[in-house]
Amino acid sequence: MTSALTVADRAQTVLQRVFGYAAFRGEQQEIIEHVAGGGDALVLMPTGGGKSLCYQIPALVRPGTGVVISPLIALMQDQVDALRTLGVRAGFLNSTQEPAERRRTEQLFTAGELDLLYVAPEGLGTFGVQQLLHRGKVALFAIDEAHCVSQWGHDFRPDYLNLSILHEQWPDVPRIALTATATSATREEIATRLELTGARHFTASFDRPNIQYRIVPKQEPKRQLLEFLRNEHAGDAGIVYCLSRASVEKIADFLVQNGIPALPYHAGLDAGTRAANQSRFLREDGLVMVATIAFGMGIDKPDVRFVAHLDLPKSVEGYYQETGRAGRDGQPSTAWLAYGLQDVVQQRKMIESSEGDFAHRRNLAAHLDAMLALCETVQCRRAQLLAYFGQPADPACGNCDTCLTPPESWDGTVAAQKLLSTVLRLQRERGQKFGAGQSIDILLGKTTEKVTQFRHHELSVFGIGADLREQEWRGVVRQLLAQGLLAVEGEYGVLTLTDASASVLRREREVMMRREPEKAARAPRARRASSGAAPAPDLDPAAAKVFEKLREWRAAAAKEAGLPAYVIFHDATLRQIAVARPGSLAELSAISGVGENKLAKYGQQVLDTLAAS
């Protein structure tokens, strides 16, 4: 066996020569040496933390081909193109290929002429692919997006359940399973289902300090989104998540009509349109993708400056995974969520009507409860988010809305009693159940057509809630639902009491509530013109000018090669070049992110661009 020292030396050489980095980050080195030495690993590392190097470098160090199991068929071509730009011999097998292309890839694999081979999990389950892998030399198996194996998780893929065959058919080949998010329970499930119970676990920090987390009360969500984009992220690339396909289409159209370039993405679009929109988002600057959660996993675009949610995510894990697509380059980015009463009602209804047994619905409810707790907290959002994943954190991060503009908490016990009494009297005295709107109208003393029709103005609670505004009452309902003191049921989402309601009505329980700040916190970031240019707050005017020239060159080079711009060089690399102004290929090679292959391919063009700047 190759000695640990030799493995370490070879890994360091590959890091520098191929990827152009001088040093590993965090636990990368330990993971790489463990897997390159033949060990199994389960790796939890946040998006942008450098997970891919943890299997790419061992695949280049070990004899044979690293086989990467990935559900991201639509992105495999881009992943392979990015590796080839680095000089790595990479290929993929999936259902999008023509027969001749597939045969060529298979021949390269069996001939030992591939460093990395990407395979979809459903493909790996076929006899043909398994037979092919037995005919070649497999260096390792990397199971990317490993949380997809968890039936309790947020992105379950049935084909992942069959991946235990890797251990059964190739018992001597090391396996590394990687994911950006998993609770301890999900982690154990991944290890069990993939037969990785003997693997070493590596858990990096879940903290993404460059991301500012903000959750605002939903009022006019389209207007709120437009103001957020215009005021804080004009010209930026970003993702807007919506719950339904119809909402995706409407929001994308709305943004376009208001001068913001936006594209829709959801499962209802034909495959060609989805692929074209995804390609444009990856390759063009300043586009906004409006999407359902069908979009995003595996997106490597480093300069996504914001992720916005217009509907409540179903779980903290899903929220973390989706928001993690912002700021992969480490630059300031925003995770923005508009959240309201109807979101809670809708999610509760979806759980109640979902397929599956009681345990499944209870699990969905627990996920939602954790998400609601994150939305309603008066404490630091980042601290609560990290606590969900079992990671201790400082009590205040200084970069979330509750830290920047601390919300007040108030004693909402009397307000809760009034609302619960209204629901109780409707049910007991009239045998009726209504949604939140009717209860609020009764409390406010509104003589609407429905109030008059059902003679609700005769109830003793009519008009007793005039001390709060309608929006405040909606917040009371929302927070009672979040605390389990109120429930929704049925197709129409009517309000009903819970077992815990009685303790409030009997004045045995105090109900503290969150009062939203008058003005939402805004990111402390450099403002810039809506030119689509990346922010360069760390550059002086002269370097910023050079940086823009380098970006123009990169855009032209990327277009000519048919690649996303970040595959040529990341913004971070261009910033370093703009500051250092290298005058030779040797000096350019010292810049982080400039490996041997990129130096040979683009080095002189970069020097020419610098000379002309």
401 with 414, same domain: the answer is no
Kind and range of the H or E run holding 566: helix 565-568
pLDDT for res 319: 94
Q: Residue 211 forms beta bridges with which residues?
A: 333
Instruction: List helix spans (H) across 324-448.
Output: 341-352, 358-376, 381-388, 401-404, 413-430, 436-444
Q: Which of 382, 407, 432 is the last residue of a domain?
A: 407
Long-range contacts of 49-53 (CB under 8 A, 24+ apart): 49/25, 49/180, 49/204, 50/25, 50/26, 51/144, 51/178, 51/180, 53/15, 53/19, 53/24, 53/28
458 with 362, same domain: the answer is no
Question: How far apart are alpha carbons 502 and 505 in whole angstroms?
Answer: 5
Q: Is residue 293 part of a domain?
A: yes
Q: SS3 breakdown of the chain: % helix, strand, coil, rounded to 5?
A: 50, 15, 40
Please say whether the beta carbons of 56 and 118 come within 8 A.
no
Q: Is residue 559 part of a domain?
A: yes
Residue 587 maps to which CATH number?
1.10.150.80
295 with 419, same domain: the answer is no
pLDDT for res 346: 87
Q: Is residue 532 part of a domain?
A: no
48 with 145, same domain: the answer is yes
Q: Is residue 228 part of a domain?
A: yes
43 with 177, same domain: the answer is yes
Question: How far apart are alpha carbons 335 and 332 in whole angstroms?
Answer: 10
371 with 413, same domain: the answer is no
Identify the segments of the chain with pLDDT beneath 50.
Answer: 1-4, 521, 523, 526-536
Residue 455 maps to which CATH number?
1.10.10.10
Residue with tokens 């639902």: 481
- Residue 373 exposed, middle or buried by CB count within 10 Å (0-12, 13-18, 19+): middle
Q: Which of 142, 171, 203 is the last residue of a domain?
A: 203
- Identity of the amino acid at 464: I
Question: How far apart are alpha carbons 498 and 505 in whole angstroms?
Answer: 11
- 47 DSSP 8-state letter: T
339 with 276, same domain: the answer is yes
Backbone φ, ψ for residue 572 (5° rounding)? -60, -40
595: left (phi over 0), alpha (psi -120 to 50) or beta: beta
Question: How far apart are alpha carbons 185 and 150 in whole angstroms?
Answer: 9
| Cα-based torsion angle of the residue sequence 18, 21, 23, 28 in order, rounded to the nearest 10 degrees | -60
pLDDT for res 180: 85
pLDDT for res 531: 33
Task: Collect all residues with Cβ–Cβ distance below 8 Å to 182 and sequence separation of at least 6.
Answer: 44, 146, 147, 150, 153, 190, 317, 389
Q: Residue 177 forms beta bridges with which residues?
A: 42, 143
pLDDT for res 202: 94
Question: How far apart are alpha carbons 375 and 350 in whole angstroms?
Answer: 19
329 with 427, same domain: the answer is no
| Cα-based torsion angle of the residue sequence 449, 455, 459, 463 in order, rounded to the nearest 10 degrees | 20
Residue 70 maps to which CATH number?
3.40.50.300
In 3-state terms, what secondary structure has residue 564? coil
* Domain enclosing residue 61, as ranges: 4-203
Number of alpha carbons in the 13 Å side-chain half-sphere of residue 611? 9
58: left (phi over 0), alpha (psi -120 to 50) or beta: alpha
In 3-state terms, what secondary structure has residue 569? coil
30 with 106, same domain: the answer is yes
391 with 260, same domain: the answer is yes
77 with 177, same domain: the answer is yes
Q: Is residue 352 part of a domain?
A: yes
Instruction: List helix spans (H) across 260-300.
Output: 271-283
Please say whether the beta carbons of 299 and 328 come within 8 A.
no
Backbone φ, ψ for residue 371 (5° rounding)? -70, -40
Question: Domains in the chain: how many in total?
Answer: 4
Instruction: List helix spans (H) across 377-412.
Output: 381-388, 401-404
Please say whether the beta carbons of 31 and 106 come within 8 A.
no
Q: Is residue 530 part of a domain?
A: no
64 with 158, same domain: the answer is yes
pLDDT for res 518: 58
Q: Which of 467, 500, 515 is the last residue of a domain?
A: 515
Q: Is residue 158 part of a domain?
A: yes
Question: How far apart are alpha carbons 476 and 341 in whole angstroms?
Answer: 9
pLDDT for res 456: 95
pLDDT for res 528: 35
Q: Is residue 32 part of a domain?
A: yes
